[in-house]
Structure 1
Amino acid sequence: MAASLKMSDDKQETEIEEGANTSTNASPRPSCLTPDRQALADSIMESVKASVSKLRRGDPPTIYIVPQIIRRVKEVAYEPRMVSIGPYHNGKERLQGMEENKLLYLHSFLSRNPDHRLVDYLEAIEELKDKARSCYSEKVGPLMGNEFVKMMVLDACFIVEILLRFYPRCRKMKLVKQQREELEQNEEDLGLISAMKKFLFHSNGFEDPILSTIGMVYLLGCDMLLLENQIPFFLLQHIFKMACPVKVPHLLEKMALDFFESRSMPWNEKIEMNDSYYHLLHLFHSHLLLTPTNSKEEPNLSCIPKFKLKPNLSCIPKIKPVLNKLKNLLPCSNKAPLLNTKRRRMIPHATDLQLAGFKFKKNEKSNNILNVKFSHGVLEITPFLIGDNSETLFRNLIAFEQCRLKAKFHVFTTYLVFMDCLVNTSKDVALLHHNGIIDNLPGSDDDVTHLFNRLCIGIFHNFKGSYLSDVKDNVQKHCENKWNKWRASLKRDYFTNPWSFISLMAASILLLLTITQTFFTVFPYYRPRSQFLIIMF
């Protein structure tokens, strides 16, 4: 079968080439095929052959321009504010201030290992430029010739130098100590350890214009996690391996994760590194989605009684008019049915769930933001912090999943859609904040509500088969239980304020008195008066 598929592919490629040759070699008819049209046909066929060849190589792009349907909601969230990395935003005037710092950082990086000159890095990237160019989904100006190689070297060295400078001194010392223990104490190994210390602790000789300001470090980290502001990770690995005197497995990945650790987002620190990361955003995303565990245990609803009371009071003529009066007396609600899970939202809001008897609890044992558990009416969510740049990070993680990953890996999109279902008003945010799940530093509850309600506009998502599908189904089953619906309706209509409660109590007392009066009115017709007095006394 594989041979037949290969023959089919070869045949298709041959047909395309023959079509191109036919369109090139065929004698044009003066009336319908002019030289301009011939040139246009040749250009189209070249594009077709290039596209087919790219698909057959099996290397689809990994760095994208954010689709307009997602980008239009908030364009500024996808554009860098300090530094351009890669070709998409290269050359923009408002980002030129950081280009001079890139040159300073390049000088510092080259000084860390004198054995390699700038020309060595240029030659190394020159060999990888075609592979790097194929990682970008769009063709832009800097993707041609020497300018592309220059841009890749400058950006790669800048990122590696930033990570080396930010890596804590205590961890560098621990790394050197570990290498000293692993290597043999001969003259060659001592030289490697000395070179490693110089590589890690190199002094740049000038005041650092970025790391000396905390705000610039944070903004730089945000720019380095934008989908459109990336370079292929294999270029960073290649540059780092050339410069680092001792081979330390996944040291670059650890330094990058340490740099991004302050993104106000809990994650799983137990990570198994690999060499298949597309770029820094993919590395960060992979560190978030590590095996989020969820409770698949369905709530036990068998202990809840199922009432099927159908009182027949038609035989008592005085009851019906009294009940009609009570119906008018009781406060009514014009709201839609509370736990109607068949509406647009897949699960009710947080406040509605609370009225239905749900409890919210922060999952203190989890260090992964994606962990959500539901069991026996208790929804456990890992607490997280909403900061100034949280929306930018959320949007770029969603855009990355929408552009590149298969639907079953849209874990962060699933999580944010789930949170969007829970949060509809500021009261929902206040409830989650009261339970320790959301901590909102810069703004009000209305700001957080606006953030969640607009994050998922224009995205594709399906809960079926997602990692939260069991949680969603169990919440819906709990909501659809009739007893839970009745209890939720009772709480919403009569226990949300004291006046409704007083009206309910007054109506209940009036109903009780009416039933008592009816009893004493009807009973003498069925019992003699003497027997009635005996019963009374």
Structure 2
Amino acid sequence: MLQRVPQHLYQRITFEERGMEHSTSEITPTNDQLSLHSQTEKDEIDEGRKADHQDQNVVISINQRYDEIFKDLDNNTCIKSAIIFKVNVGLRKSNENAYTPMLISIGPYHKKNSQLDSMKKYKLLYLRRYLQRKNGLNVESCISELEKIKNIALKCYNDDLDTDIVKEFSEMLLLDGCFVVEFIREDYEKVEKEDDIIKLKWMKNQVSRDILLLENQFPFFVLLILYYMSPRPNEENFLYMVRYTLLDTFPKVKFIPKSEIQVITEPFDHLLDVVHMFCRPSGKKVEQNMNASTQNQCCKISFCGNSLQLSKEIRPHLRFWQCYHIPTTRELFDAGVSFLKIGFVEENDEDKTSLFDITFEKGLMKIPCFAIEDTMETFLRNMIAFEQHTSKELYPYFSNYAHLMTQLIGSHRDVNFLRQNKIILKDIGDDKQVANIFKKLSDGVDVAIEKFYYIEECSKLTQHCEKPWNQMKASLRHNYFQSPWAGASTVAAITLLVLTVIQTVLAFTGYVNK
């Protein structure tokens, strides 16, 4: 192995060689000096060899360490199989409380939150009721069954869990899973009984809120195992029970008939996934919008009064820009757009209007009315978080809805306008608070143009606002025909003006004839 010669030794050797060459006795070293120089040179070469050997060992050590890390990554199958996530910082920063349980923890992510320990006694009460449903059912037999699927359930969580949690994971599956199953069973019956474990309405609402948080999810296949281990005679389908237990607490969703629910066979990740399946638009234009989003029908843009034909490469970018820059509600109203509420808060299931059924046609925008309640923001945010984190092929209706409403509600004036039109029925605070909720609802949310449900509405709105005639008509209507009295006064003034002109023309004509 070649060693580097230190620079000062190289200079000294060169200097000595030159001295010997010219036979200069003045610089010829003595024997003692030569011996000293030789020993110094040898020591420094040995030190260089030792340093190089240490560097080589360091490189080998780092390589070995990273080889072990890469090996652990290959063995960590939860990277690919994870279905339950912690909410990313981009979504969490606008309202962290919306993703945090306030009453009960389900699963491992918030298990060590001491503020939620008070619900453990309710978990035990539900567990006891669960075990009483079937003879021979006990804690040991249940945990024995859950041990068989423990490793599969562990891989559902996208996080390194503490050793203590992993050690007690099967017990946690039993305790938390039985709570969810029995809570849904109890609440589905709707009629208060003497043996109801949770009797207070606010507690039931709070539990419903917490078990639909993304970080509080539970593998759905575990819930099904526990459900079928304790069957009740003539009991309803579990999905049907989930539909009536959870969705009545939250905003308007599409009703799915019982006959359709009973034939559903698709696998679900967790309860949030199940609820997302129920929360669909009415279905009249789902396929139309999915097809239209790939056809790029909007191909013209007005620029300085000229209509420009765009190439196929530019059209998708234009549609993307239109989706992100539609006017606010007040601006649309000033441009001649009328607003109409559809649906009612209390409807029978067959006629229920979906929250997503927002349409625009011929200057009229129809928006389903909704109530701003304490749980609405949390519900919407966690549905959005699920859409943003999951790798499943699903349509991001909630992300699309949040983006559209963020565009429509730019300030408290827009909230006030929507309330006057009975679209927002009540609120949890003043107009500014409601406006802030919607302005931040889509923070950190990615909206893909190929899956934007409202792409046609946004394109039509933009084209409507670009036409000067629509703005002129709107200005005329708002300024002179805002009320019946204003309209009557305007008509009277125009009539008077016309009569005055006619009288002037007739008088002038008579004077000329004379």
Query: TM-score of the superposition, structure 1-length normalised?
Result: 0.68
**How much does 1:68 deviate?**
0.4
1:287 partnered with 2:278: yes
**Aligned partners of 2:252, 2:441: CA distance in 1, in Å?**
19
**How much does 1:93 deviate?**
0.9
Identify the residue that residue 21 of structure 2 maps to in structure 1: none
Identify the residue that residue 238 of structure 1 maps to in structure 2: 225
1:478 partnered with 2:457: no
The alignment partner of 2:425 has SS state of: strand
1:440 partnered with 2:422: no
Matching residue within 33, 50, 68 for 2:57: 33
| Deviation string, structure 1 residues 199-220 (Cα, Å, up to 9, x no partner) | xx9x85xx62xx2111111011
1:1-20 alignment to 2 at 5 Å? none
Matching residue within 384, 388, 394 for 2:374: 388
Q: 1:435 to 1:493 in 2, by over 3 A?
A: closer
**How much does 1:115 deviate?**
2.9
**How much does 1:461 deviate?**
1.2
| Deviation string, structure 1 residues 106-133 (Cα, Å, up to 9, x no partner) | 1111111123222221122111111111
1:355 partnered with 2:344: no
1:158 partnered with 2:149: no
The alignment partner of 1:221 has SS state of: helix
The alignment partner of 2:216 has SS state of: coil
Matching residue within 397, 401, 412 for 1:415: 401
1:281-430 alignment to 2 at 5 Å? 281-289=272-280, 292-294=283-285, 346-364=325-343, 366-405=352-391, 409-430=395-416
| Deviation string, structure 1 residues 165-222 (Cα, Å, up to 9, x no partner) | 112168x9xxxxxxxxxxxxxxxxxxxxxxxxxxxx9x85xx62xx211111101110
**How much does 1:344 deviate?**
9.1
Q: 1:289 to 1:401 in 2, by over 3 A?
A: same
**How much does 1:464 deviate?**
4.6
Equivalent AA in structure 1 for residue 56 of structure 2: C
8 A Cα contact 2:210 2:216, kept in partner: yes
Equivalent AA in structure 1 for residue 227 of structure 2: F
Bigger radius of gyration: 2
**How much does 1:242 deviate?**
1.0
**How much does 1:408 deviate?**
6.4
Q: 1:378 to 1:371 in 2, by over 3 A?
A: same
State the identity as a percent.
27
**Aligned partners of 2:322, 2:482: CA distance in 1, in Å?**
24
| Deviation string, structure 1 residues 3-34 (Cα, Å, up to 9, x no partner) | xxxxxxxxxxxxxxxxxxxxxxxxx9754235
Identify the residue that residue 196 of structure 1 maps to in structure 2: none
Equivalent AA in structure 2 for residue 81 of structure 1: M
1:103 partnered with 2:124: yes
8 A Cα contact 2:220 2:271, kept in partner: yes
8 A Cα contact 2:322 2:459, kept in partner: no
Query: TM-score of the superposition, structure 2-length normalised?
Result: 0.71
Identify the residue that residue 217 of structure 1 maps to in structure 2: 204
Q: 1:496 to 1:289 in 2, by over 3 A?
A: same
1:451-466 alignment to 2 at 5 Å? 451-466=437-452
Unaligned 5+ runs, structure 1: 1-27, 173-200, 299-307, 309-340, 521-530
Identify the residue that residue 130 of structure 1 maps to in structure 2: 151
Q: 1:464 to 1:476 in 2, by over 3 A?
A: farther
**How much does 1:462 deviate?**
3.5
**How much does 1:223 deviate?**
0.4
**How much does 1:225 deviate?**
0.7
**Aligned partners of 2:423, 2:509: CA distance in 1, in Å?**
64
Identify the residue that residue 298 of structure 2 maps to in structure 1: none
**How much does 1:377 deviate?**
1.6
Identify the residue that residue 36 of structure 2 maps to in structure 1: none
1:164-203 alignment to 2 at 5 Å? 164-168=185-189
- Number of residue pairs the alignment of both structures matches: 417
| Deviation string, structure 1 residues 365-423 (Cα, Å, up to 9, x no partner) | 55211112222222122222210121111111111111115686211110121112211
Q: 1:343 to 1:380 in 2, by over 3 A?
A: closer
Unaligned 5+ runs, structure 2: 1-51, 293-304, 306-319, 344-350
The alignment partner of 1:96 has SS state of: helix
The alignment partner of 1:395 has SS state of: helix
1:46 partnered with 2:32: no
